[in-house]
Amino acid sequence: MLAKVLLSLFLWLRFAAGQDTPEPGAQPPISSAEGDLLFLLDSSASVSHYEFSKVKEFMWDLLHPFTFGPRDVQTSIIHISTTPTMEFPFDQYLSSGTVRKAIRDTRQLMGDTNTGKALSYAKEKLFSGEAGARPGVPKVLVWVTDGFSTDDISEPMQLLKDMGVTVFIVSTGRGNFLELSAAASQPSDKHLHFVDVDDLPIITKELRDGILGVMRATRLHATDVTSSSFRLVWPRLLSQDSGYYSLEYGPSAEPARRSTQQLPAALGSLVLSHLAPETTYEVALTPESNVHYFPTQTTSVTTLPEEISPVQVLISDSGPRSFHVSWAPVLDSVASYQVLYGPLPGNSVKVLQVDGRHNSTVVKHLAPNTTYLVTVTAIYRSGKEKSLSAKACTQEEGSRVRHLRFEEVGADSLRASWDPAEGAVRGYRVRCRRRSGRSSALSVAAQVHSVLLSDLPRGSSGSVCVQPVYSHRPGSTLCRTVRRQPATEAQGYGHGERHRLQ
């Protein structure tokens, strides 16, 4: 009888395990794609070992149906860290087996999240013969991020897109939606994915199909299509001194409005702007060479329906006397924005004027601990107006803890202490995110200004954040990274406290 019960339990557990972790279905091989695919991999200390390993699994799931080779897909990895590093050149691994092993052997570097540096480095490598990159093939960048960067990404990312690189972004954290939307190729809903690291398989097929759409377009084609612009991308057929390109484009229904441009031989992409919404444009690109004959390449592109701005207003970086307001999207058809703000309740309203090319501003000289109504109005060149409102709350004066510090107290413990925040603090929330191991959180009373952190052995690292809690809202969080020296370099021990974070 007992044997039957155990057998039934075993079979049930096998069935349950199969239900929870289904095997991915076999993918048919893909042999009709050609391009250089670069992964920008967050290898910094802000990513846990578990998250890093899940991202590596995702990369291989994304890649394994592709055919690799000098006339097919080539891939590489650049690490985001204090200093960017290329894991291997594009032309080093040209079979599924070697690519899989190279990804499996990739190790996390730790360090800072200097994404801007990594993007500038990627711009060099994507067009470098020494790095195995090929001229005249589509270039795709897949940036997998937890949403944070310690340096600016906007300028190096724009330079990459200006060179014809298609950018896909996968955010596994709480990144700034507006910043990442601007960084990804357009439309952002096709090139930007927000997903938890455990749910990455959900987006694998959609992302792979997006990459395929770029790599199969080896002729003149359009990307980043909006209601008033699109980017033309073409393979580089001419050398610097061998000729130029003749570009002709215009609305299909109005041949008399066709425009012509002469473009330098080194160019591989161009943005056409100030176009009419919901209009089909015929485009012809002729390589004019004094060495070889190249046929004219043509394509048709239909702009999207007229967009409306703003469709989203976000409040961030709230302090006692200021906050940051941002909105999206930014459109060529908008001449300027007006930001109206005033306290609730109340009838006092002030106005800020913002240039139509910008999508954010800082509202200053506010009252602490006050709720404001913020209205962003887009003023179109046509005279139309569109408004959207949001509420914003300033914090209490001095609502941030100060001087977060650490003290060794044992082989696997240390004490975190801080100076109290100002105002009517009701308590503090303390969070510890360990690089290896589980994260933890603790709430303490307002009069407590230190906690004991355990499960932090010498040689390990993590981040500790302390946030004051007020009656109506939490205050600003102060975070610091803690890195414990190895045992041979450690100092003496101290005594513990009764408040322990495990």
Residue 379 has pLDDT above 80, yes or no: yes
Could you say which of 175, 190, 217 is where a domain stops? Answer: 217
pLDDT, tens only, 444-470:
999 999 999 888 888 888 889 999 887
Which pLDDT band, with edges at 50, 70 and 90, does 8 fall under?
A: very low
pLDDT score of 201: 92
- The values of phi and psi at residue 198, to 5°, are -80, -10
Residues 123 and 143 in one domain: yes
Residues 163 and 259 in one domain: no
Query: Is the Cα dihedral 165, 144, 83, 477 positive or negative?
Result: positive
3-state SS, residue 57: helix
Residues 207 and 174 in one domain: yes
Q: Residue 136 in contact with residue 126, Cβ under 8 Å?
A: no
Residues 208 and 294 in one domain: no
pLDDT score of 14: 41
What six digits make up the tokens of 118?
A: 């990594």
Residue 217 class from Cβ within 10 Å (0-12 exposed, 13-18 middle, 19+ buried)?
A: buried
Residue 132 lies in a domain: yes
pTM of the model: 0.47
Q: Residue 41 in contact with residue 428, Cβ under 8 Å?
A: no
- What strands lie across the sheet with 350-355, from one edge to the other? 350-355, 334-343, 371-380, 385-393
146 vs 141: CA distance, rounded Å: 16
DSSP string, 197-224: GGGGGGGHHHHHHHHHHHHT--SSEEES
Q: Quote the domain boundaries for residue 425.
A: 402-482
Residues 269 and 368 in one domain: no
447 vs 300: CA distance, rounded Å: 68
Residue 319 has pLDDT above 50, yes or no: yes
Q: Residue 35 in contact with residue 140, Cβ under 8 Å?
A: yes
Could you say which of 197, 217, 237 is where a domain stops? Answer: 217
Residues 183 and 129 in one domain: yes
- Mean pLDDT for 126-140 is 87
Residue 306 has pLDDT above 80, yes or no: no
Mean pLDDT in the chain?
A: 84
The domain that contains 253 carries what CATH number? 2.60.40.10
Residue 500 has pLDDT above 50, yes or no: no
Residues 93 and 169 in one domain: yes
Residue 22 lies in a domain: no
Residues 51 and 199 in one domain: yes
Which pLDDT band, with edges at 50, 70 and 90, does 23 fall under?
A: very low
Query: Is the Cα dihedral 366, 368, 370, 371 positive or negative?
Result: positive
pLDDT, tens only, 99-125:
999 999 999 999 888 999 999 999 989
Residues 373 and 433 in one domain: no
Residue 488 lies in a domain: no
Residue 15 lies in a domain: no
Residues 115 and 128 in one domain: yes
DSSP string, 229-252: -EEEE----S-TTSEEEEEEEEET
Residue 281 lies in a domain: yes
Number of domains in the chain: 4
Residue 375 has pLDDT above 70, yes or no: yes
Residue 26 lies in a domain: no
Could you say which of 267, 302, 337 is where a domain stops? Answer: 302
Residue 58 lies in a domain: yes
Residues 119 and 53 in one domain: yes
Residues 126 and 258 in one domain: no
pLDDT, tens only, 415-431:
999 988 877 788 999 99
Residue 91 lies in a domain: yes
DSSP string, 433-451: EESSS--EEEEEETT--EE
